[in-house]
Every structure is written in C-alpha cells, then in structure tokens.
Amino acid sequence: MKLISTRNGDRIVNFGDAVLDCIPRDGGLYVPAREEDLRPWIMHMDEGTSFASIAGTLTAALLRDEFSPVVTERIAAAAFTGVSPELRRLDEHLWSLELFHGPTGCHKDFALLWFASALEHICTIQARKATVLAATGGMTGRSMAHAFAGKFRLKTVIVYPKGAAVGIDPSLLASNGGNLWAVEIDGTLRDAQRLVREIYADRKLMEERGLTLANTMNIGRLLPHVFSYMFAFTRLRKKVGGDIFYAVPSGNYGNLVAGLYSWKFSLPVNGFLTDATPSLLCDASGRCECRDSAIPLQARGPADPASPSNLERLEQVFAVNPMMLRGFVFPFDVPETAIPALTREAYEKYGIHLDSGAAHAYGAISAASQRIYSDEGTVVLVTKDHPAFEAERIARDTGSSPEIPERFAAYGEPVGDVIRIPADRAALEALVRTATE
C-alpha cells in the first residue's frame, strides 16, 4: 500500500514508513494513494470466515507489495486470535455491529491490537524500536496498555490528567518489568494534550527517540477499522438483499472514514448515515456539506497529533468528485436532548443498551427512515463501547442497568506506581528520554 499526504500528492511513502514517521511534514494526514480492488478477497469470504482470517486476508491484500504473506498473516493472528466483533440482528432491516467485544470493552481494542502487532513486526523487520506517546483518559489508556503489553520492540508512555490513571495491570508498568510508563501530570486532559502536542512538534526529538502516535492520525491505527465493515458484510451478504447502509457515530470521523475506505476498497455499500456536527452537516437543500472545505488546505494549521480529526481525510476521499459526498454521506441533526428518548426506544424495541455514540447514530437512522433507504434496504448500526461504561446514564434513561463484566471491577482502581510530574514540557521530555534509553 502506497500513501500520500492530504496536502501533497507528489510524495509517496510505504506503509511501514508512514506508520513509523506518522506526521507528514506538510501538516496533513497520510491517506491511501490509490483505490484498492479487494472484491476478489471480499467475495471469497462468508459467515464461516473468522474475524482473524478476514483481517489476515485483507492485511495480505493491502500490504502485499511490502510484506510477505507469512508476515501479514502473523500480524493479524497475533492481534485477533480468539477476539472478534459481533453482528447482531435487531429486526428485518436493522443490524447492530458491536465493537465492544474486545479485551477491555473499548471499540478501539480491535484497531489498537492490530496496530501494535503491525508496528512490532515492522520494527522487527527494520531492526529498530519505537515508542508511543499519548495523552488520554481512562478507557483509551486501558486499551493501549493491553494492546502494547509484552511487545519487545515497543514502549508506551501514557500521559494522564491528575487522578485519571486507573485500571492498569501493575505488571505492565516499567517499574515491574513491563514496557509501559503511566504518567499523571498536575493538570487537566487539555494540559496533557498540550504537552504531547509540544513534544511531537519537536521533529528532531521524535526521530531521535523513535516516537510515533497510536491515535487515528497514524494511518496504521485507522486502517484496521476497515476490517469490521468487511466482517459485517461477510455475515450479511447471503442473508439480505437490496441496499446496505451503515449508521456511524460522528466522533472524530475515524469510523466514518474507515467505512469510506472500505467502499474505496470495493466493499458493497450504498451510503453512510451519521449525526451532524458543526463541521459536517446538511445544507439548506438537505445535502451533505463539509464546512471546513471552504478553507484551502494550505491555509489551515497542521493536523493535531494530540487530538486528531479525520475530517480532512473525508474531504480527500471526495476531492475528485465533491458531488459524491452529497449522495453518499448523510448527516442528520441529533440533539443531545434526544439521546435519553433514543436510548429508551432502542431498549424497548430491541432490548439493547446503547452507548451515547451509538445513540446518536441510532437517531440518524430514525431521521433517515424512508428518506434515504427503502423498505428493502438494510442498515447496520455501529455500536462502539461497552454499555457498562455508561451504566448510570443508561439505567436512568431505560430503567434497566447493563450487565457489568467482572473484569471491569478493577477499572476504577488507581495505578499504584504512577509517575507524577508537573504540567511542564521539560518534565515530560525528561521522562520520555529516560523511558527511551
């Protein structure tokens, strides 16, 4: 797979190079340089094909010019053996793609597991090491810690706001022989993101210490989200007829862009429903509009390594034919005040508990009904994180508490050996240098 920046289509890089040096110097984001025809592989798979096999087949197809089939199969097998999302039928035309069946209940588990495996294999091939530095709260931190645990060539430095380092297995910490540094700063998440942003602004330090990102700014973190859409289709293709739509929470547009990449890789899909935001919404005529497109790319600031948005990637998908955006992505206004009622409706009709992101996507389905898809169409609702993480809200909205897995009981426990530093760039840089020695 060859990649280019959203702001410079002339410089082409390999996947491995884009993963290790994940921030283009022009301030853009790495994107596939061309469409990939994966139809022969997609149509060969069915509901009997495991998620690990689907990921292995597609990894081999996408990265065949760079890595041997043996390596690509190992990347997927190391990530997904015994781990899979689930597709659940809700009624004749509605299905739920549940992404919370990973080891920590976070939808990012699947992407992080594959990314960590791919990064470890790339570092092994190139005989080098890499360090992931990230600012985050509890859920993503747990997912990262689990995915990177035990990776010989990888180190992870997670920067938490004060009091937020919880739920990490102590055996994973560097102080106990692991490869994780859990750091609390004397400040907020915004302060933590600022410090990480400042570190990544120092390209010399990045290169010297082998720093890379594990959020969706890194194409290696975004790409594996494609596998979930392919997985859903293998379960649908012999059971449904007519159009297929996916309802995707807006978030930072990572899941939406991954869905669009699936389409560019030949996945049969007729469109994507999502909740509108100030950046992606419907214009006066009811057609999709990306407000940021009014600002030329070269007039924008660089992409944010600490808190990325994938909107620029979405724009790039439709750059050749902007009208396609209006006929393929359908954002609907779903106000926050509607979430309790939508959560309750989904529970009463289907017996499911929706995380807040999925509730927004469900609201888009309700708004799109009969306007976008017909009675013969199928809609797949992408549900992200385990409902137990929002148990109090869900119980309040539905009168029913979601089941809380036993392993979640430890998720609220503070990290005993957390490293505490001031909200100061010099302090964080010193720690990064120590961790990468």
d(CA 313, CA 256): 10
Distance CA 376, CA 23 (A): 44
Query: What residue type is 382 in one-letter code?
Result: V
Return d(Cα 121, Cα 68) in angstroms, integer. Answer: 11
Residue 138, pLDDT score:
80
Widest Cα–Cα separation across the chain: 61
Contact 77, 55 (CB under 8 A): no
CATH classification of 108-220+413-435, choosing from 3.40.50.1100, 3.40.920.10, 3.10.450.50, 3.30.1780.10? 3.40.50.1100
Chain Cα centroid distance, residue 52: 18
The residue assigned the tokens 């009904």 is 369
Whether the Cβ atoms of residue 49 and residue 250 lie closer than 8 Å to each other? no
Pairing, β 94-98 against β 86-89: antiparallel
- Report how far residue 282's alpha carbon sits from residue 287's, in angstroms, rounded to the nearest whole number: 5
Evaluate whether 117 touches 79 at the Cβ level (below 8 Å).
yes
157 touches 185 (CB < 8 A): no
3-state DSSP call for residue 382? strand
- Are β-strands 288-290 and 419-421 bridged in parallel, bridged antiparallel, or unpaired? unpaired
How many H-runs (helices) and E-runs (strands) does the chain carry?
A: 17, 16
**What's the CA gap between 222 and 211, in Å, rounded?**
18
* DSSP string across 5-23: ETTEEEEEEEHHHHHHS-S
The pLDDT averaged over each successive group of 10 residues in the chain (437 residues) is 92 95 94 91 91 95 93 94 95 95 96 97 95 92 95 96 93 94 96 96 95 96 96 93 93 94 93 93 81 81 91 87 81 95 97 97 88 78 96 97 92 91 96 94
| Separation CA 257–CA 140 (nearest Å) | 20
**What is the reported pTM?**
0.95
Dihedral pair phi/psi, residue 359, rounded to 5°: -65, -40
420: amino acid identity, one letter:
R
Task: Give per-residue burial for 223-243: e unless 16+ CB within 10 Å, then b.
Answer: bbbbbbbbbbbbbbbeebeeb
Please tell me the distance from the alpha carbon of residue 212 to that of residue 68, in angstroms, as a whole number. 24
Strand partners, 155: 131
> What is the rounded radius of gyration, in angstroms, for the C-alpha atoms of the chain?
21
pLDDT of residue 374: 63
**Inter-residue contact 398 to 347 (CB < 8 Å):** yes
How far, in Å, CA of 16 to CA of 120, rounded?
11
Unique residue bearing structure tokens 């979601």: 402
- State the amino acid at position 413 in one-letter form: E
